[in-house]
Chain A
């Protein structure tokens, strides 16, 4: 389900013999798969509707399950992109609606419980729905939009959420159908309820500066972490003291051999987690942050849903909020993973 098939490139270089074996094996495999599919068909309940909590679904899987009862597909690209063509049956909630500007904190934050409830109900989301989120899937930054939407849905109490690997780009690369028809869903019964164990606030951050109970994880680019560059709307340079740096850009295969932004394999992600200095103990508390919580949402999704870290929060206000308070420490011209 993860990543593009890696065997492909060697196929045409195989000898006739191995190729014949390959095809024979393939035939046997297809028979087995056909039997399995038939068997699950007999049990009737689609395996995935229950076990559909698979956090990452492939385009292939989704193509085979389009229109499954209880499934809501949400497109987080811009409204214009959605209008131009989208996955059959998908509804639209552009990313700007997931992290709108918040007047109180003067930065982008997730919507209020009431707003999110109303929006998702209007899109036909029920408590029992299996929500599939997809994004443009072209760049690593596209992928963070979908990742952050997954984080927000999970933080607001939606249990059954999946992310479409490779998004719209992989879907269209594979020549799968798109349409312009806007569904008119029946209002859903989704009710948002904030789960504070998944969302860190500024208060949590300030407390953790003292207790150091959680590990701070910065998912911005390394140049931002080091304090060389910053977004113009982030008012100060640098990182929260002692943060580790795991750029969200490294979590996908975007651009490699012109490929879409599929999530890197679990094996690679595990290696990276170790390589950036994260503990192997999956119970350790981790607070992920970035500029606006978009990359942090991706970090949450990858760490919690794919790698199985149990205690992950994303900091909603992130650097946009944190940097505003001049009393709070920021470290510049250093790697957080080197200095303390």
Chain B
């Protein structure tokens, strides 16, 4: 009798443990959904699929039921020094026009060919999370993976019924120029540069960026390294979790998941990939995106920028 009870209790505990573990795994995986998952859940209640790729692409063909969600996800700010998050009320209006409600499960996808494509979905995901909407995920590999899997494609534009989405800015998701200046003076904050190595080094820059170099002490983790785009003609699938973990360590991100991290790039697009990988896939809790990124920082001469070297090195 007694042993029976113990066994039952143990069994019960095991079931709870397994359920808990799988639920946690599912929660972790929710931020990146596969083509098969989306194909099964395309008609599920509350699923809203947004195509954030180029609109010309959308008109040629898109995932059935997907809404053309070209944006703008970023606009020039008043001073024309940054390619920033639009005003919250404009974003809310835009998301409602896409049919997004507060209980919507938003699935984002892009062309899925290059890592730059995936960065567009990452930027949209960050925008939604910054507005307090966490039920959002990216389709792994985007439209390229969808087509490769021979799933059906529609040419018919979708006219969604307007949603009732309400959101407000979660300040802890966004780093402003002033916050960045302050953070540069406090040694605890980890800056992550998601641009190309030659841009970080200060050997090259985009023509619209005023100065060469990186923010002092930055860890270099190019967004291009985060996907398998182009490897043996692969769509832009996110790299395996084990590889992403390895990279986080290999570029010098602290193991502490509470570390304060600020990601940046040229104009906040690749930085969104950094945010997505660090926050949504690897579970870092305090990740902010520097919205103005180097575009804004380089225009402000009071911001120190370092050239001719890598930002973060071990002591020799």
Stretch at the interface among A67-75, A162-170, A298-306, A332-340: A332-340
Pairwise interchain contact A338-B197, C-beta atoms closer than 8 A:
no
CB contact under 8 A between A335 and B249, given known A268-B308, A271-B309, A277-B316:
no
Tally of A interface residues using CB under 8 Å: 27
Give Cα A333 to B251, complex, Å: 8
Give Cα A221 to B309, complex, Å: 14
Pairwise interchain contact A339-B308, C-beta atoms closer than 8 A:
no
Pairwise interchain contact B310-A245, C-beta atoms closer than 8 A:
yes
B201 is an interface residue with CB less than 8 A from chain A: yes
B71 is an interface residue with CB less than 8 A from chain A: no
Tally of B interface residues using CB under 8 Å: 24
State which of A222, A250, A279, A338 has its C-beta within 8 Å of the C-beta of B250: A338
B243 is an interface residue with CB less than 8 A from chain A: yes
CB contact under 8 A between A250 and B313, given known A334-B249, A335-B252:
no
Give Cα A250 to B314, complex, Å: 21
- Interface on chain B toward A: helix, strand, loop, or mixed SS? mixed
B36 is an interface residue with CB less than 8 A from chain A: no
Pairwise interchain contact A271-B251, C-beta atoms closer than 8 A:
no
Pairwise interchain contact A275-B308, C-beta atoms closer than 8 A:
yes
Pairwise interchain contact B309-A338, C-beta atoms closer than 8 A:
no
Pairwise interchain contact A222-B252, C-beta atoms closer than 8 A:
no
B247 is an interface residue with CB less than 8 A from chain A: yes
B312 is an interface residue with CB less than 8 A from chain A: yes
A272 is an interface residue with CB less than 8 A from chain B: yes
Pairwise interchain contact B203-A335, C-beta atoms closer than 8 A:
no
B125 is an interface residue with CB less than 8 A from chain A: no
B225 is an interface residue with CB less than 8 A from chain A: yes
Instruction: With CB as the reference atom, state the residue of chain B lying closest to A271.
Output: B308
CB contact under 8 A between A335 and B225, given known A222-B197, A275-B308, A277-B313:
no
A37 is an interface residue with CB less than 8 A from chain B: no
Give Cα A275 to B224, complex, Å: 23
B198 is an interface residue with CB less than 8 A from chain A: yes
Q: Which residues of A contact B81 (CB under 8 A)?
A: none
Pairwise interchain contact B197-A277, C-beta atoms closer than 8 A:
no
Instruction: With CB as the reference atom, state the residue of chain A lying closest to B309.
Output: A275
Q: Which residues of B contact A331 (CB under 8 A)?
A: 250
Give Cα A87 to B172, complex, Å: 63
Pairwise interchain contact B309-A335, C-beta atoms closer than 8 A:
no
Q: Which residues of B contact A335 (CB under 8 A)?
A: 220, 250-252, 310
Give Cα A221 to B224, complex, Å: 14
A27 to chain B minimum Cβ distance, whole angstroms, is 37
Give Cα A279 to B313, complex, Å: 12
Per-residue interface assignment for chain B, residues 236 to 268, with 1 indicating a CB less than 8 Å from any chain A CB and 0 otherwise: 000000010011011110000000000000000
Q: Which residues of A contact B197 (CB under 8 A)?
A: 221-223, 226, 247
> How many A-B pairs with Cβ below 8 Å?
75
Give Cα A215 to B313, complex, Å: 14
Q: Which residues of B contact A271 (CB under 8 A)?
A: 307-309
A243 to chain B minimum Cβ distance, whole angstroms, is 12
State which of B203, B250, B310, B312 has its C-beta within 8 Å of the C-beta of A334: B250
Q: Which residues of B contact A247 (CB under 8 A)?
A: 197-198, 201
Pairwise interchain contact A277-B251, C-beta atoms closer than 8 A:
no
Give Cα A247 to B310, complex, Å: 11
Instruction: With CB as the reference atom, state the residue of chain A lying closest to B253.
Output: A338
Q: Which residues of A contact B309 (CB under 8 A)?
A: 271-272, 274-276
Pairwise interchain contact B246-A334, C-beta atoms closer than 8 A:
yes
Pairwise interchain contact A333-B308, C-beta atoms closer than 8 A:
no
Give Cα A332 to B225, complex, Å: 12
Q: Which residues of A contact B316 (CB under 8 A)?
A: 215, 277, 279
Instruction: With CB as the reference atom, state the residue of chain B lying closest to A278.
Output: B316
State which of A215, A249, A279, A339 has its C-beta within 8 Å of the C-beta of B203: A249
Q: Which residues of B contact A279 (CB under 8 A)?
A: 316
A228 is an interface residue with CB less than 8 A from chain B: yes
CB contact under 8 A between A339 and B314, given known A249-B198, A250-B198:
yes
Sample 30 A-B pairs with CB under 8 A, ordered by A number.
A221-B197, A222-B198, A226-B225, A228-B225, A247-B198, A249-B203, A250-B201, A250-B203, A268-B308, A271-B308, A271-B309, A274-B308, A275-B307, A275-B308, A275-B310, A276-B313, A277-B313, A277-B316, A279-B316, A331-B250, A333-B225, A333-B243, A333-B246, A333-B247, A333-B250, A334-B249, A334-B250, A335-B310, A338-B312, A339-B249
Q: A333-B250, A337-B313 are in contact. List 5 more A-B contacts (CB 8 A).
A: A228-B224, A275-B201, A335-B310, A337-B310, A338-B252
| Interface residue ranges, A against B (CB under 8 Å) | 215, 221-223, 226, 228, 245, 247, 249-250, 268, 271-272, 274-277, 279, 331-335, 337-340
